[in-house]
Every structure is written in C-alpha cells, then in structure tokens.
Copies of this chain bind each other. A is one copy, B any other.
Amino acid sequence: MNLRFADRMNNAQKSFIREILKVVGNPEIISFAGGLPNPISFPIKKIQEATDKILEEDGENILQYSTTEGYLPLREYISERYLKNSGVVVPPDEILITNGSQQGLDLIGKVFLNKGDCMLMEEPGYLGAIQAFSMFEPEFKTVLMNHDGVDTEKLKESIEKYNPKLFYAVPNFQNPSGITYSEENRKQIAGFMKGSDTILIEDDPYGELRFMGSRVPSMKKYMNDNVILLGSFSKIVSPGMRLGWIHAGHEIMEKLIIAKQGADLHSNYFSQRVVYEYLKENNIEVHIEKITDLYKKQRDCMVNSIEKYFPKEVQTTKPEGGMFIWVTLPEKYSSMDLFNIAIKKKVAFVPGDPFYTGKEGVNAFRLNYTNSTEDKIEEGIKILAEGIKELLSEKN
C-alpha cells in the first residue's frame, strides 16, 4: 500500500545521540556521548522502601488511573521547593506533572505552534528540543551563545524583527555548552522581553547540579508572566521514571492540560507516588550534595585532563555545574571528522551538528563527564587528544 505520512515527518531524523548510544553500547568504548546521570547516584534502597510502603498502604489507588494534572502532594512539594530554594512563587495548580521535561516541550509546541510560526532557539541548543518542536513545523531562528549567556543584542533584535511566539532557553549549565546565563545577562533579557508577546521557555533540568559558584535567580524572578518553567526529577532522583513538570500561568495551563489529556491521559501514577514518598521521607538536599560532590570530581578530572592533553588551539567551556563541556576546534575542522577518528580509537562524544537547526560540519562538540569514572575520563581525554592532533595535522 501507498503510505501517506504527514508533512512534518518528511525531514524528521532519528535523534543522532540515541543512534550514537547504540553504537557505544560496546563496553570497550569510553563514552562521553550520553547525557546520563551516574547510576551510582541512584537512591535504590530508598526507592525500594518507598515502593514497599505505598504498595502496602494504598496499593489499590496507586495502580489505578489518576488525574491529568498529577499527584497533588507532589505538586505541592515542587511548589514549596521553588519558594524555599529560589524565592519563586509557583502555585501547585499551575504545575502539571509530565513524562520527563521532554514531554513538556512536546506539549508546549502543541499548544502554541502553527506551521510556519517563528520561534527562537539558542545556538548551539538542546537537540531534544529541536526534535520536539520540529514536529510542529515552526520557522526556527537562532541566537548565539556567549560565555555569559545568550547574545542579548541579537536576541533583542530577533524579538523585535520576528515577534517569535517562543524563545527556548536552558539558562543553567546549558545543554550542550555547559554555559550559565549571568545575572546581568538575565536582567537584560527580562528587560526587553517583558513588554513583548514572546514567551520564554526556561528549561532547567540541571539547575540543581551546581558544584561551584553561586546560584543565579530563575528568569521567572525577573519576568513573571512571560515565562514557562520546566523541571525534572531525572537528574536528582531517576531518569528511568520519566518524571518532570511544567509550570505555566493559569490560562496557558488550561490548554496544556487539554493537550496532556489527549496525549496520554496522565503521567505514570505509580512512579509519582513512589517519588513523592521518597522525597517526603528523605532529605533531597543531602542526596543532591552527594551527586554534586561526585560530579565535581569528574568535571575537575575532565577539565584537568583537557588542560594536560589537548592542543592549545582547542577551546573549552568550564562549567560550574551540570553535565557537559563544549569543545571548540579551530575553524574549518569538522567534529564529525573527529568523531570518525575517535570512534576507531574507542572514544565517543556527540559532534556539534545535531545541536544546530541547520548547520553541518560544525567545528565543536559535546563531552559528558557524569557517567564515567575518573580513570576512564583521563584515559579517554588522552586518546581524544591524540585524535584531535591527527585531525589538525591531516588538514594542514
């Protein structure tokens, strides 16, 4: 039969990262490719205690259908934590529990984007967001990342010129660059976005993973109305449970709930109850400290190894938290070429191309340091340095 797919599928590609992850399943390969938390940080025993307790006490409810909005005590917990940690007021009825914050992107795209609508992305930007929004066929415009946030001049100009519906940003330890927007950068953005009709999507999966420097306030602090906030339990409890959330004002939330009902009725209720029980019975701040202590060591090891082994003409970011380092090769060298060299040496990373909405042969790439050991990190960076030297000499 003649298969008639929707237009939106014409250019849709499988996620490059997920395809890479299949290749690097081989345990001989040192992989800096994924964006996976270190599984030694998972609170397995505590999750088991939480699960046992709630199944014993309330099994019939836990396995039943539930509300689209999500488990109220869990939304209240998220609300209280925003207030305590960021001084941001987020009422529980303006929170929707999603299947990871990735689903938030899909729902926001569905609620806002007509085919051809303009939306702004960071460049480089999170490839999962590019993939999610692409399904609604917007016209992407991009704003370059600087060392202290996004290029505000270009952002202002783009908002005035294109009047985009959405601007998608990861202000804390950005994926893929590891860059955090400075307070000054945030204030500037808020200053000119406030009066506009452009909504800022503030995606914050990594904000909790700060291991140096001090917390910078949420964009929501500066520009209340125009912000949709996304959060996630993936990096602080467990990604396998696919639990994240969207915060948006009442009018937007109503539409998001309708979209969520149609998409899958509600998020996994069993996991919502398990995670809530875990959070209620344990001090998550102590657990997060354990994770950041671990990641800081791994980050330091990678930064130091890079300084030790990489050629001087290669530039890298030095993140204060999160999971990624962004490496920039001298101009005209393709990170895809480097990937092909490195994978033969059994080291993997994600080339820059998929983090761009329409660019090939990008001279930068992403390294992840969280799902590894210090030994592997030093060894892998050393091998990668050899690969870089090969690449640079080849082309000269």
Contact = CB atoms under 8 A, between A and B. Distances in A.
B268 A9 contact: no
A265 B240 contact: no
Given A262-B132, A268-B241, A1 B225 contact: yes
Stoichiometry, copies per complex:
2
Given A4-B165, A258-B12, A258-B13, A265 B100 contact: yes
A266 to B, nearest CB: 7
Contacts of A55: 44, 47-48, 51
A42 B4 CA distance: 41
Interface in A221-267: 225-226, 234, 237-242, 251-252, 254-255, 257-259, 261-267
Contact of A255 (B12, B63, B67): B12
A44 B343 CA distance: 47
Nearest to A136: B6
A376 interface: no
A14 B270 CA distance: 24
A14 to B, nearest CB: 6
Contact of A238 (B110, B134, B270): B270
Interface of A: 1-9, 12-15, 18, 34, 36-37, 39-40, 42, 44, 47-48, 51-52, 55-56, 59-68, 98-100, 102-103, 105-106, 110-115, 117, 128, 131-132, 134-136, 165, 196-197, 199, 225-226, 234, 237-242, 251-252, 254-255, 257-259, 261-271, 274
Which 10 A-B pairs give the minimum distances between C-beta atoms?
A44-B59, A39-B60, A63-B238, A240-B269, A99-B264, A103-B264, A42-B63, A131-B262, A132-B262, A268-B268
